[in-house]
Amino acid sequence: MTYPFLGDPAQYVGEWLCGTGPMVDVAVSSRVRLARNLAGIPFLSRCSVGQKRELETRLRREIAACPIAEKVFYIDISTSAEVDRRLLVERHLISREHAEAEHPRGVAVSADETVAIMVNEEDHLRIQVLRSGLQLIETAQRIQQVDDALEDRLDFVFHSRYGYLTACPTNVGTGLRVSVMLHLPALKMTGEIEKAFRAARDLQLAVRGLYGEGTEATGDFFQVSNQTTLGKKEEDIIEEFRQQIVPRFVDYERRARDGLLKRQNTALEDKIFRSLALLRSTRMIGSDETMYLLSLVRLGVSIEKIKDVDLRTVNELFLLTQPAHLQRMLKREMDPQTRSAARAEYLRRRLGASSS
Amino acid sequence: MDNKCDKCGKPAPIHVFDIIQGQKIEKHYCNQCAVSEGVAFHYHMTLSQILEEFVLQGGEQTGALDPVCDVCGMRFSEFRQQSLLGCPHDYDAFAEAMLPLLERAQGGATQHVGKVPHRAGGDQKKHTALLRLRAELKNAIVAEDYEKAAMLRDQIKELDNT
Ligand SMILES: [Zn+2]
Ligand SMILES: [Zn+2]
């Protein structure tokens, strides 16, 4: 069975882009992932190619037999076209490393793209649940369901002292990594971002100034995740994020937005509407500049300056204007110049071009 | 990654850009400089960085000791190079050398307190036996001893199904 978006990626986008959910003006998406390995089988660094292939076949079969979601698609990454692998990275369904590796590997994805299970990444299994906005309780519950369902059929390697054993000791214990993607344009503009992150450092968080996992960098998106996986209960890690960490960043950002609205309203409006106008009239545009301008438009929509564009559209455009998506939507390979023109055309169409 | 850090010339995994008066300005930073420049904060310290720091601080009391896992053949020095372990048994085989590293990487914690699989652990002995057989099988194939490989494969199958 082929995965639907591989045919037409604009027809189906993941739930996490829908632009709803608590604090979605700042907290773009919530992701939880678990690292798991089978007992009695070496970690991947010590598996021969044959053993990796055997493992991949077995895990693919077991996942298919698990009641994980109504519909689950399996994509064999080792035989996928490069553009499809990049598409999966852009959609945050696999890591860049998983796309670029060379051994037998794959990913199982639920139809709504909330659940993705990478097979033979750094660990035998990397389970991820991704949702829109700050939905950590739902995300955490969902991933436990998936983990329990898999555990009914598979023996995961577990150590009485170190918990779930992982190929890299930085993931040992719960194997759980929570990441929340934050959109912090106002803090960036006011220059207060450093102050906000100094607080993060004290909370032992990892913060990366990146859009997603190294897909595209824009200065306004930051991913906050827990640094340690051992010595804390899963619920406690999640609750800390939900009740303290994320609300704190959201509060900082909202206050910075209020400050700009009060003191520099015209300058702010100028930035926002200039960006929207540019996106609506451009004839050629690269993906970095697109991200930069979309970030300002996203801010404009969040603070209700822009009323004729919704958050969902902006979120979708972040994804659909990336290189692999653009090529797949227009069903041809393009050199960067043609791509810039196609991107501009698509943006004009989705944002409602100004006349001419 | 072929970009070099604008500040110090080390490999730069972090890229940011600004658009100033229509001009795109791209900047590349290594993890450390990204932190000092306020682009990223408190990045995930990779295990290799922790290992590096650990040696610099003279924390390596084990000296010439280079433990080896008798199940998968992984050496501690090899683990230090690639930051990835060979098999679950390594956690015990390298226990002494690894504990301080683990503590450093895990903010001082050395005891799991979270979820326990409902079929906890299964049969430890069986799993270790399987790990050994699989390592032997791999070696047999490398040595092109297909007779032995076939025998080992049968043993694995039998043990796996018990
Ligand atoms: Zn540097
Ligand atoms: Zn080992």
Task: Please give the average per-residue pLDDT across B135-159, as a whole number.
Answer: 89
Nearest by CB: B42 against A206, A214, A228: A206
B79 shares a domain with B58: yes
Chain B contact for A202 (CB, 8 A cutoff)? no
B110 belongs to a structural domain: no
- pTM of the predicted model as reported, rounded to 2 decimal places: 0.85
- pLDDT of res. A104: 96
Q: What is the per-residue pLDDT across B57-111, written as a single tens digit (0 to 9) for each?
A: 545 554 557 889 999 999 998 888 888 999 999 999 998 888 888 888 888 888 8
CB interface of B with A, residues 87-106, below 8 Å: 87-88, 91, 98, 101-102, 105-106
If we measure between CA atoms, which residue out of A166, A36, A165, A228 comes closest to residue B109? A228
Answer yes or no: is B69 within a domain. Answer: yes
Question: ipTM higher than 0.90?
Answer: no
Tokens 């829109």 locate to A132
Consecutive 10-residue averages of pLDDT for chain A (356 residues): 64 78 90 95 94 96 91 93 90 91 95 94 97 92 95 91 93 94 90 76 65 50 86 92 90 95 94 96 90 93 94 91 86 85 94 64
Residue A230 Cα to ligand 1 middle (Å): 30
Q: Where are the beta strands (DSSP E) in B8-93?
A: 14-20, 23-29
Q: How confident is the model at residue B56 (pLDDT cuts 50, 70, 90)?
A: low
* Domain extent listing, chain A: 4-258, 265-351
Q: What angle do CA B102, B107, B110 make, to 5 degrees?
A: 50
Q: Which is more confident, A341 or B42?
A: A341
| B34 falls within a domain | yes
In the three-class reduction of DSSP (H, G, I as helix; E, B as strand; rest coil), residue A221 is classed as strand
Please give the backbone phi and psi of residue A4, each rounded to the nearest 5 degrees, phi first: -55, -45
Q: How many domains does chain B have?
A: 3
Average pLDDT of the segment spanning B10-32: 68
Residue B68 lies in a domain: yes
Residue A336 in contact with partner chain B when CB distance is under 8 A: no
Q: Is the pLDDT of residue B14 over 80?
A: no
Residues B135 and B153 both lie in one domain: yes
Q: Per the structure block, which two tokens stand in for B90? A: 């390594």
Q: Is B125 on the interface with A (CB under 8 A)?
A: no
Q: Give me the long-range contacts of A313-317 (CB less than 8 A, separation at least 24).
A: A313/A350, A313/A351, A314/A19, A315/A17, A315/A18, A315/A19, A315/A28, A316/A10, A316/A13, A316/A17, A316/A350, A317/A290, A317/A347, A317/A350, A317/A351
- A residues 53-92 near B, CB within 8 Å? none
Cβ–Cβ contact A228 with B under 8 A: yes
Quote the pLDDT of residue B25. 67
H helices present in A93-184, as ranges: 96-100, 136-151
In a domain, B67, yes or no: yes
Task: Evaluate whether residue B120 is within a structural domain.
Answer: no
Residues B100 and B62 in one domain: yes
Q: How does strand A115-119 pair with strand A27-36?
A: unpaired
- Domain A4-258 matching CATH 3.30.390.50: the answer reads no
What pLDDT does B60 receive? 52
The answer on B132 and B87 residing in a single domain is no
- Can you give the length of chain B in residues? 162
**Chain A CB contacts of B119 below 8 Å:** 151, 155
Residue B113 in any domain: the answer is no
Domain identity same for B89 and B75: yes
Which of the four pLDDT bands, split at 50, 70 and 90, describes residue B30? confident
How is residue B78 written in tokens?
């090899």
Beta bridge partners of A158: A164
The secondary element (H helix, E strand) that includes residue A337 is helix A336-351
pLDDT at res. A77: 95
Verify that B52 and B101 share a domain, yes or no.
yes
Upper half-sphere CA count for residue B60 (Cβ side, 13 Å): 14
Q: How far is the CA of B109 from the centre of ligand 1 (A)?
A: 30
In a domain, B31, yes or no: yes
**Do B145 and B99 share a structural domain?**
no
Residue A163 CA to ligand 2 center (angstroms) comes to 17
CA distance A41 to chain B (A): 6
**pLDDT tier, B21 (very low <50, low <70, confident <90, very high otherwise):** low
Q: How confident is the model at residue B52 (pLDDT cuts 50, 70, 90)?
A: low
**CA dist., res. A308 & res. A323, Å (int):** 26
Q: Classify each residue of A156-182 as buried b or exposed e, where b means 16 or more C-beta atoms within 10 Å of its C-beta.
A: bbbbeebbbbbbbbbbbbbbbbbbbbb
A182: left (phi over 0), alpha (psi -120 to 50) or beta: beta
Q: What pLDDT does residue B23 have?
A: 62
Inter-chain CB proximity A41 and B130 less than 8 Å: yes
**Are residues B29 and B54 both part of a single domain?**
no
Would you state the pLDDT for residue B118?
Answer: 81
Which range of residues forms the domain containing residue B59? 47-105
Q: How far is Cα of residue A245 from the mean position of the Cα atoms in its chain? A: 19
B25 and B57 part of one domain: no
Section B27-33 average pLDDT: 75
pLDDT at position B7 over 50: yes
